[in-house]
Amino acid sequence: MKNLITASDKEWISEALSRIADKMTVVAQRNQGKIPYTTDESGRFDDHSGKKDICWWTNGFWGGELWQLYKLTGKDIFKQEAIATEDKMDAAFMDYNGMDHDAGFRWLPTSVVRYKMEKNPESKNRALLAAANLAGRFNLNGNFIRAWNDWGDDRDTTGWAIIDCMMNLPLLYWASEELGDTRFKAIAVAHADTAMKCFIREDGSVRHIVGFDPATGQYLRDYAGQGYKEGSSWTRGQSWALYGFALSYKYTGDEKYLKTAMKVADYVISELDSKYPDYLVPVDYRQPADVRLEDSTAAAITASGLIEIVECLDKELSHKYLDAAIRLLRALNDNRCDYSLDKDNILEKCTAAYHDAKHEFAIIYGDYYYIEALMKLDGSALTVF
């Protein structure tokens, strides 16, 4: 990867990583014991490590960020805090309802990463428990992994699958490889095939939620989910899709997944070029033209996913995706990063969902994917997904 990057890009990337390393050393010291999701009004991390929030789907990203920073700097504080995060997450295994399809987001950046480095049995055990739980969510009627558990309201989510789940499949690919047992991979492939057929539109845009009849597997309808409306194009959903299908290609070698990842990426790049030439990413590519709500997490995840595609292609085919990834990261670096020591977050203007009351705040996975993407370009990233 490094030899595809120009000298001037290498320079700002290395400068950004050094600012991140300096800042996050201070941030990790002053937030010991926490598992953050966002920041408070003073810019300090909140804490999701308590009983009430320990099952929150983003709880693996702080651990993953710490492992990436440990790789970047070799500083013990990062490793110590990453391990503390992983230990605390054990409580989630005792809450059946808190175990949802985001097992990959939670245990790939924590237990699987650590197990790959240290071969310790506790991390392996946790990662296999998480993989078995994820596999148990597979519905043979319709060949999909059920996304969420019921929310205690009148919505029946039994037949719901979401595009985000493509990013959880590497936990199943890993378990198959680790155990020499094809069952997990077979489930991942069956889900990926369903997602390819039912989520990807002709133009390369992607649905967020698809509802199936859980008893027959019949496709019932799609939902706007975290996007603007039905038929729209939630930017983070597009990023999960292009990244996730590239990963299914990486783990299976099946070209159809790479073609799907490229189809979504081509759509995203054409939306950015035509509507958002500053490469500051909106919450939905089809939000009204006069709404300028942003989601920096989508920018960071798209960039990291595009780099994954670059790694699957020959140089001539890859430059379009690499250029777009660098433009996205450069736009974040120049306009949406807080490298100061006062605030705990790096990325600004992250948005969880279009119709939420709150928009444009700090979100931990934005920082995780921003760092991951820069480190991929720098050739120093740990493989997490």
We find the least distance from the C-beta atom of residue 147 to ligand GLY, in angstroms, to be 9
We find the least distance from the C-beta atom of residue 261 to ligand GLY, in angstroms, to be 17
Between 164 and 308, CB nearer to ligand GLY: 164
Phi, psi of 151, deg, nearest 5: -100, 5
Residue 236 in the binding site for ligand GLY (CB under 6 A) = yes
Distance from C-alpha of 271 to C-alpha of 252, rounded to nearest angstrom: 29
Q: For residue 138, what are the contacts with CB-CB under 8 A and spacing of at least 6?
A: 144, 145, 146, 187, 190, 191
Among 112, 171, 352, 364, binds ligand GLY (CB under 6 A): 352
Between 70 and 243, CB nearer to ligand GLY: 243
Q: What strands, in cross-sheet order, belong to the sheet with 219-223? A: 160-162, 209-212, 219-223
We find the least distance from the C-beta atom of residue 163 to ligand GLY, in angstroms, to be 9
For residue 87, give the nearest of 45, 118, 49 by alpha carbon: 49
Strand, helix or coil for residue 8: helix
Q: What is the 3-state secondary structure (H, E, C) of 72-120?
A: HHCCHHHHHHHHHHHHHHHHHHHCHHHCCCCHHHHHHHHHHHHHHHHCC
Between 264 and 377, CB nearer to ligand GLY: 264
Between 35 and 352, CB nearer to ligand GLY: 352
Distance from C-alpha of 332 to C-alpha of 42, rounded to nearest angstrom: 22
140-179: contacts with ligand GLY (CB under 6 A):
164
For residue 194, give the nearest of 146, 234, 258 by alpha carbon: 146
Residue 364 in the binding site for ligand GLY (CB under 6 A) = no
Amino acid code (one letter) for 290: D
Between 164 and 284, CB nearer to ligand GLY: 164
We find the least distance from the C-beta atom of residue 353 to ligand GLY, in angstroms, to be 7
Between 298 and 377, CB nearer to ligand GLY: 298
Distance from C-alpha of 26 to C-alpha of 45, rounded to nearest angstrom: 13
We find the least distance from the C-beta atom of residue 257 to ligand GLY, in angstroms, to be 20
Residue 295 in the binding site for ligand GLY (CB under 6 A) = no
With CB atoms as reference, the residue minimizing the distance to ligand GLY is: 164
Phi, psi of 349, deg, nearest 5: 60, 50
Q: How far is CA 138 from CA 112, 114, 290, in A?
A: 21, 27, 41
Among 133, 226, 232, 333, binds ligand GLY (CB under 6 A): 226
User: Would you state the structure tokens that stand for residue 196, as one six-digit string?
Assistant: 């390819």
Between 122 and 348, CB nearer to ligand GLY: 348
We find the least distance from the C-beta atom of residue 15 to ligand GLY, in angstroms, to be 29
We find the least distance from the C-beta atom of residue 332 to ligand GLY, in angstroms, to be 17
We find the least distance from the C-beta atom of residue 226 to ligand GLY, in angstroms, to be 6
How many amino acids of this chain bind ligand GLY (CB under 6 A)?
A: 4
For residue 372, give the nearest of 384, 362, 356 by alpha carbon: 384
Between 21 and 198, CB nearer to ligand GLY: 198
Q: How far is CA 124 from CA 84, 117, 167, in A?
A: 16, 11, 19
Between 191 and 236, CB nearer to ligand GLY: 236
Residue 191 in the binding site for ligand GLY (CB under 6 A) = no
Are 234 and 264 spatial neighbours (Cβ–Cβ below 8 Å)?
A: no
User: Can you name the residues that pair with 350 across neighbouring β-strands?
Assistant: 361
Interacting residue ranges for ligand GLY, rule: CB under 6 A: 164, 226, 236, 352
